[in-house]
Amino acid sequence: MYRKYREARWYSALANKKVRCYLCPRECVISDMQSGFCSVRKNVEGKLYSAAYGFPVALQIDPIEKKPFAEFMPGTKTFSIGTYGCNLNCFFCQNYHLSRGHYNEKQAGQYVSPESAAQLALKNECRSIAFTYNEPTIFAEYCIDTAREARKVGLASVLVTNGYITERAAQDLYPEIDAANIDMKGFSEEFYLSMTGTHLQPVLDAIKYLYKLGKHLEITNLLIPGKNDSDELIETFLDWTAKNLSAEVPIHFSAFHPDYKLHDVPHTPTETLHKIKEKAQSIGFSHIYLGNI
């Protein structure tokens, strides 16, 4: 089984065949024959392996606008790749069948090399490859190698990510991609802790780093009624974006629909989205998009 698995990056060996993973801020300490929180980085006899490398479980041709990218290569198709696993635990996850999924170790599935992924994208007349559906940070090794192969044949690479990544891993992954849409879950530490089991600051650091690299950046904010849609949180988010990035950064505000562990919260009213768009435009944001309406 493990002969096909690729040894992971960003980890160190500890005593008693344990390892510490440095890919995301969880920095999981993983015992022998156990996996990290993401479920796809497994310790085998003191070495960390990526079970997701080369084993996508979702391959799809999408319009780039579906990712969503409103201002990167509009009107083109992208070859979407997703695996199992995620490093967040969002109660409202809308792709939980992938994010909380696990590989069957007796049936690993069909191997798709980075070279094959690039050729499949070309064959299907796509202009880019998108790492999407689940959290691509957890298969970062595969993203890097696939992005390099894509570049060789003239394809762009885009990342649809939660931005929960360590600085050392971001410095290896982010320079390899051409565009990213970062999903801002909610602009408060309390929201991140209670609704995702993680922290806000690493996401802010990732956003700033991508912007500093000069990559095309768009931000998506899923608005959950009564959870992260208050005037205060939205204004704080917009103020932070204007000060640390630019009011020219495209921002997507998307409607929530009940899913996974959050079925007791209603759909986001359409009027809420339009109100927020008007607020953003009134303070200087000119690239505001509304989704799921």
> What residues have CB less than 8 Å from 84, skipping those under 6 apart?
39, 40, 52, 57, 98, 99, 101, 102, 103, 134
Q: What confidence tens digit (pLDDT) does each residue in 196-229 have?
A: 999 999 999 999 999 999 999 999 999 999 999 9
Q: Where are the domains of the chain?
A: 6-50, 58-291
- Cβ atoms of residues 218 and 104 within 8 Å: no
Specify the CATH class of 58-291 in words: alpha beta
Interior angle at CA 130, CA 127 and CA 131, nearest 5: 160
N-terminal to C-terminal alpha carbon distance within the chain: 44
pLDDT band at 2 (very low <50, low <70, confident <90, very high): very low
- d(CA 293, CA 280) in angstroms, rounded, equals 18
Q: What confidence tens digit (pLDDT) does each residue in 28-39 have?
A: 999 999 999 999
Compute the mean pLDDT over every residue in the chain, rounded to the nearest whole number.
95
